[in-house]
Chains A and B, each alone.
Chain A
Amino acid sequence: DAKTTQPTSMDCAEGRAANLPCNHSTISGNEYVYWYRQIHSQGPQYIIHGLKNNETNEMASLIITEDRKSSTLILPHATLRDTAVYYCIVRVREGGATNKLIFGTGTLLAVQP
Chain B
Amino acid sequence: EAGVTQSPTHLIKTRGQQVTLRCSPISGHTSVYWYQQALGLGLQFLLWYDEGEERNRGNFPPRFSGRQFPNYSSELNVNALELEDSALYLCASSLGRIAKNIQYFGAGTRLSVL
Could you list which residues of chain A lie within 8 angstroms of chain B, going by C-beta atoms? 32, 34, 41-46, 49, 87, 91-105
Shortest Cβ distance from B46 into A: residue? A100
Stretch at the interface among B11-19, B64-72, B74-82, B103-111: B103-111
When distances are taken between beta carbons in the complex, the residues of chain B under 8 Å from A32 are: 100
Contact A93 B105 (CB under 8 A): no
Contact among B44, B55, B97, B105 with A43 in the assembled complex (CB-CB below 8 Å): B105
B interface, by DSSP: helix, strand, loop or mixed? Answer: strand
A93 vs B97: C-alpha distance in the bound complex, in angstroms?
A: 11
Identify the B interface with A (CB < 8 A).
Answer: 4, 31, 33, 35, 42-45, 48, 55-56, 58, 88, 90, 92, 94, 97-100, 102-108, 110
B45→A102 contact, CB < 8 A? yes
CA distance A94 to B97 in the complex (A): 10
Check if B100 sits within 8 Å of A43, measured CB to CB.
no
Pairwise interchain contact A99-B56, C-beta atoms closer than 8 A:
yes
In chain B, what residue has the closest Cβ to A91? B99
Question: Are A99 and B107 in contact (CB-based, < 8 A)?
Answer: no
Asked whether, in the complex, the Cβ of B97 is within 8 Å of the Cβ of A99, the reply is yes
Once A99-B99, A103-B42, A105-B42 are accepted as A-B contacts, the answer to whether A42 and B31 lie under 8 Å apart by CB is no
Of B44, B48, B92, B99, the most chain A CB neighbours within 10 A belong to: B99
Closest 7 CB pairs of A and B: A96-B99, A43-B105, A103-B43, A100-B45, A93-B100, A98-B56, A44-B105
Minimum C-beta distance from A71 to chain B (A): 17
